[in-house]
Structure 1
Amino acid sequence: MASRQQESWTDETICPICLDFFTDPVSLECGHNFCRSCITQCWEKKEINSCPECRQAFTERNLRANRVLANLAEKARKLKLNGKEKESKLHCEEHQEELKLFCETDKKSICLICRDSREHREHSFIPIKEAVEIYKAQE
């Protein structure tokens, strides 16, 4: 799980228009940043070129690429994806508990709460690491 400090810097890599990580971020003259496609689409609908955040109007469409923000957004995207992979692999979808056991009867990983449920009451279990070793040896 990401710490609050990590979440705060990754929030800065979110486009205020599409609310997703920046893609090809650009800076306006006022200093606000947007995805190039987001601000372009926004301006196509309006007669005046203005910042969607501060409403400052611009006579020309000067979009400066923001490479630093692009790199940070890519790192934040990878951090988020890696965090999701780790969480989904290690935690029970029903109880959000760590998967520590392997139910030999159902042939699936379960948490300690699942072990005590009616569904698994009469089943046999082994630690998940032991199950991995057994199944690797069988291949």
Structure 2
Amino acid sequence: MAEAHLCGLQDEFTCLVCQDTLTDPVTILCGHNFCLKCLTNYWDQSQECSCPQCRHTFTTRPELNRNTLLNKVIKKFKRPRLSPPLSQNYAGPGDVECDFCTGKKFRAMKSCLTCPASYCQTHLQPHYEGDALKHHNLVDPVRNLKEKLCEKHQKSLEMFCKTDEMCICLMCGMTEHDDHEKVELETEREEKQNQLEVTIRRRLEKKEKKIKETMRTAEQMKVSEIKITLH
């Protein structure tokens, strides 16, 4: 019920200056709310300090302090909302199961590389609500999650060591691979993908060139046969 009221107040949580959801909201004396950065920039570029909404003018520039209560409400408003537990589906063939369901398991919605574990909608909720979990690395459901972890440190493989040509975790990067050339795993994946695309394109171009040469040779042979026939 409370979240339904929050949805109806979306306009109240929008900054008139940037037309986006309030960030670091401040409330000025006339009662209107703005992003701290937006209002600061607005006043820096104006000859007078006035409210961008009601145009109320202040004789001296007010000190801006973040509205802590409003900031908490907006965070609740912006928090991802998951579907009710009743809409969940049981894990079927090919699905990744939730590691925390007992009995018949629900289908996992996300896997956490930090925990590491896979979660259904219900058991995933603490990762969106708790400060201790919200910075964890959530990805689409992953099978054999332990294979994504460093065997030595049980941490997610987030880096690629170019020197040893292997995936490593952050702890490995600071210890035995400290002096090696390293990049983020996603960066290396994109680079390999680009290299593969270039290789495939070159092969296709080479194949196309060979086909054209074959067709040209066949056409020349056909012309020669016609000439011989005419003579």
TM-score (norm 1): 0.55
Q: State the one-letter code of the partner of 1:134.
A: P
Q: Which runs of 5+ in 2 are unaligned?
A: 84-88, 98-142, 145-231
1:72-96, CA deviations, whole angstroms, 9 ceiling, x for partnerless residues?
Answer: 1111111xx336xx5xxxxxxxxxx
Q: State the one-letter code of the partner of 2:17.
A: I
1:6–1:36 Cα change, 3 Å: closer
Q: Which has the higher contact order (CA 8 A, sep 6+)?
A: 1
- Corresponding residue for residue 67 of structure 1: 68
Q: Secondary structure at the match of 1:7?
A: helix
State how far apart, in whole Å, the 1-side matches of 2:74 and 2:19 are: 12
Deviation of 1:22 (Å): 1.2
- Corresponding residue for residue 17 of structure 2: 17
Instruction: List aligned pairs for 1:95-114, cutoff 5 A.
Output: none
Deviation of 1:53 (Å): 0.7
- 2:135 aligned with 1:134: no
- Corresponding residue for residue 81 of structure 2: 82
TM-score (norm 2): 0.35
Q: Which runs of 5+ in 1 are unaligned?
A: 87-127
Deviation of 1:11 (Å): 2.7
- Corresponding residue for residue 40 of structure 1: 40
Deviation of 1:7 (Å): 2.2
Deviation of 1:61 (Å): 2.1
CA contact (8 A) 2:7 2:77 kept: no
> How many residues are aligned here?
93
Which stretches of structure 1, 4 residues or more, deviate above 4 A after TM superposition? 136-139
Instruction: List aligned pairs for 1:50-65, cutoff 5 A.
Output: 50-62=50-62, 63-65=64-66
Between the aligned residues of both structures, percent identity stands at: 33
Deviation of 1:4 (Å): 6.2
State how far apart, in whole Å, the 1-side matches of 2:47 and 2:6 are: 39
- What is the RMSD of the two structures over their aligned residues, measured on CA atoms? 3.0
Q: Secondary structure at the match of 2:81?
A: helix
CA contact (8 A) 2:26 2:33 kept: yes
Q: State the one-letter code of the partner of 2:55.
A: R
CA contact (8 A) 1:14 1:73 kept: no
Structure 1 or 2, whichever has the larger Rg, is 2
